Amino acid sequence: MHIELLTPHIGALIHDVDLVNCDDTTFAAVYKAWFTHQVIFFRDQEFSPQQHLTIAARFGELEPTHPFFPHVEQAPQVSIIETVKGKPPLESFWHTDLTWRQQPSIASVLHAQHVPQCGGDTIWCSMTAVFNALPEQDKILLRQLSAMHALFAFDGIESSEITEDWQKDVIAVSAKNPPVSHPVITRHPDTGEEILFINEQFTRYIIGMNREDSNALLAKLFAMARLPEYQVRFKWQTNSLAIWDNRSTQHYAVIDYADSPRKLHRVTVV
């Protein structure tokens, strides 16, 4: 097993590991690399949806079937993220998965089935690196704050424009999940590092601040997360695999490939 660091702050490409037949000693090294480097990548990992579930389960308890993504029929906990001809992806947002829940997921395991010839990269940002780059007075302030998170449910879009079943499912799930509060600064249970725990898609406002001040503070923090110095960008290939620590990262799907066919399978870990 060889670990190739991709940037100073986040991301590592792991070589010479077959995750399907990975022994306990090797997996322990993979597991440590996952939370140390925040997102790890593998090439040429060919496996079935059921084997995908087995790999993901080594990281922890699996999430139930996703509430609005389509899924593999024989393996419902494997979500399908797919672009097909005639249906390009909608707007993309920087986000941390499921922060609209009281307990967001801790990991996602994303496996490429087929990808465009070019485009369709994914970018991850280290929110520990963003926190560490803040001035000390900002850190002191942020440690005292909490923020409200809520599921994006097509705010400002006319109801007549909501025609897809998955959009209706998002609205239904949003109605059943009221906004939740999370500390703005969290601490990673394995590394002890402090994390800036906000994201553009689901963080609505800072609790106890007027909206103008809250919006200004969040805009400043979101802008830092968009800086390439704290990011890693991954070019997908068929059978590539990415496993990220959802507690310490944000990610962004680059939608520059129009409606070129693209299909990935994702399993998430509680």
Which residues are marked as active site? 95, 97, 251, 266
Which residue type occupies 172? A
Amino acid in the structure at residue 156: G
CA distances from 196 to 12, 76, 79, 128, 253 (A): 21, 32, 28, 6, 20
DSSP codes joined into one string, 61-114: PBP-S-SSS-EETTEEEEEEEEEBTTB-------B-TTTTSSS--SEEEEEEEE
Residues in the chain: 270
Cβ atoms within 10 A of the Cβ of 251, count? 23
Within 10 angstroms of residue 54's Cβ, the number of other Cβ atoms is: 15
